[in-house]
Amino acid sequence: MLDLFHVKEYGAKGDGATVDTAAIQAAIDSCHEAGGGYVVLAGGTFVSGTIFLKSNVYLQINPSATLLANPDIGDYSEGTHYNRYVNEKDMDKCLIYAEDASNIGVVGKGEINGNAEAFPNEGSIYRPMMMRFLRCRHIHVRDLRLHNSTAWTTAFLDSENIWCDSLDIRNDKRYNGDGLDYDGCQNVFVSNCKILGTDDNLCLQASSKDYPMKNVHISNCHFTSTCAAVRIGLKSVGDISNVTIQNCTFENVWREGIKIECTEGGRISDIAAQGLVMRNVTRPIFIILNNRLDVIGSSIGLDEMPEIGELERIMLSDIIATDDEEMRSTHYRFTDDVMGSPSFNGIRVDACESHPIRDLTIRNMTYTCIGGVNKEDIPAHYPKVWDMRLEHPEEVSENYYPTWSRTTFMDIRGVDRLELEGVRLRALNEDTRESYLIENCKTLNVDIKEC
């Protein structure tokens, strides 16, 4: 029984011109039929459309090899599931796909290149994701350069036992430049990854009650994004729980560092983040509990306004967040999509008065922000979070609005059992807004000092 298949033995040239899709797929199929093993790409650039990974087969891209996405959309198969956002059907196709498979992996010291420049930036089906795994078990993705995807880099869906390690992800050429996305997965281990992108670097979601997102371990990673670094929720029909984030660095993140959004009726609970260092992160912490249903960020299958869910037991500790002069600027995604500005800075926690967040602790945090905002230059009215099943005010506080902060450092509303311990705040420039506000909260302890 052979346990090693070289694609070149099946007709691939690795010359960057020949389309190698059929040869790579033949190697995977033969390896699978022989009981499993490694399909190895070595020596050159291999051009391919959709590859279907099979059980017990690892695709290995050696240091001398690049797997390059074919610019011909006709080489991308149907039947690779779909993107689960109602407004993002343009990303249904993908380069590497596996369904109901186990003991699989994409590994090696080489590069997978999504060939982003060959595809439109938005609004077209011609933007295949790099990888999608549906209902798979025992998945390894490691040691690779994952560059220039046309849309999300990865989507792990309803899967379990997933290891992503030592990845260099660069997804900064197109909209929807996510890095690692998990939806309804269990037992997830992410470590030693460097992620740069135009959207969420790492995302944990649950778009179905049947597949909770739980037991997630994120460590020793570095995040840079024109949008958010680590996002938990938004798609939160089901439950998300048991998440640890530790020993990570964040640099030049133009929206949120740690972003937790329970918005679709589920429960997000038992989240611990410790030992985080942030440089130039517009909103180091953003947490919201609400309900919303519109074309932005709603799960496929959610067809009515959900009852507001639950958000509880969140502990964030040992955090340093520091701005420098870069944060005087307004930052954009591409040419005109505003992501952040000095008036948008600050920690924000918010919830509907009738549905508070419970048990939130922020401990040992030093926050040095840019400041420099005149209170008279921002709107005086700051809307509240509403239960959208009951009424629809013209202005509500939600996930993407308001686009300004009424405080310099921290605005916390709607928390039952709030503890702030060892929080140190300093502004680099004079700011006439309130330093911080704590409203509609039941506090256990508040220890805040301005330096």
Residue carrying structure tokens 């609004």 = 123
Closest CA to 229 of 289, 293, 186, 169: 169
- Global pTM value: 0.95
Could you read off the pLDDT of 438-448 as tens digits, one per residue?
Answer: 999 999 999 99
CATH number, domain with residue 427: 2.160.20.10
pLDDT at 117: 94
pLDDT at 90: 77
Q: Is residue 33 part of a domain?
A: no
Domains in the chain, number: 1
Residue carrying structure tokens 């420098």 = 324
Question: What pLDDT band is residue 333 in, cutting at 50, 70 and 90?
Answer: very high
203 beta partners: 181, 231
pLDDT at 296: 53
Would you call 82 helix, strand, or coil by DSSP? coil
DSSP 279: E
Mean pLDDT of 373-394: 92
pLDDT at 294: 66
pLDDT at 264: 94
Please, is 89 exposed, middle or buried when counting C-beta atoms within 10 Å of its C-beta (0-12, 13-18, 19+)? exposed
Q: Is residue 168 part of a domain?
A: yes
Question: What pLDDT band is residue 16 in, cutting at 50, 70 and 90?
Answer: confident
Q: Is residue 29 part of a domain?
A: no
Q: Is residue 7 part of a domain?
A: no
Whether residue 322 is predicted with pLDDT greater than 80 in this model: the reply is yes
Q: Is residue 363 part of a domain?
A: yes
Q: Is residue 329 part of a domain?
A: yes
Token pair belonging to 214: 């739980």
Find the domain containing 326 and state its range.
Answer: 58-450
Whether residue 293 is predicted with pLDDT greater than 80 in this model: the reply is no
pLDDT at 5: 54
Whether residue 10 is predicted with pLDDT greater than 60 in this model: the reply is no
Token pair belonging to 413: 């509303």
The mean pLDDT value of the chain amounts to: 93
Whether residue 7 is predicted with pLDDT greater than 60 in this model: the reply is no
Phi, psi of 23, rounded to the nearest 5 degrees: -70, -40
Pick from 165-174, 229-238, 291-300, 379-388: least confident:
291-300
Question: What pLDDT band is residue 83 in, cutting at 50, 70 and 90?
Answer: confident
Whether residue 123 is predicted with pLDDT greater than 60 in this model: the reply is yes
Tell me the one-letter amino acid at 430: E
| Better-scored residue on pLDDT, 451 or 413 | 413
Question: What pLDDT band is residue 295 in, cutting at 50, 70 and 90?
Answer: low
H-run or E-run covering 27: helix 21-33
Mean pLDDT of 199-215: 97
Q: Is residue 30 part of a domain?
A: no
Whether residue 2 is predicted with pLDDT greater than 50 in this model: the reply is no
Residue carrying structure tokens 């790579």 = 24
Mean pLDDT of 90-108: 95
Ranked by mean pLDDT, which of 24-38, 79-93, 379-393 comes out on top? 24-38
Whether residue 297 is predicted with pLDDT greater than 80 in this model: the reply is no
Whether residue 6 is predicted with pLDDT greater than 80 in this model: the reply is no
Q: Is residue 75 part of a domain?
A: yes
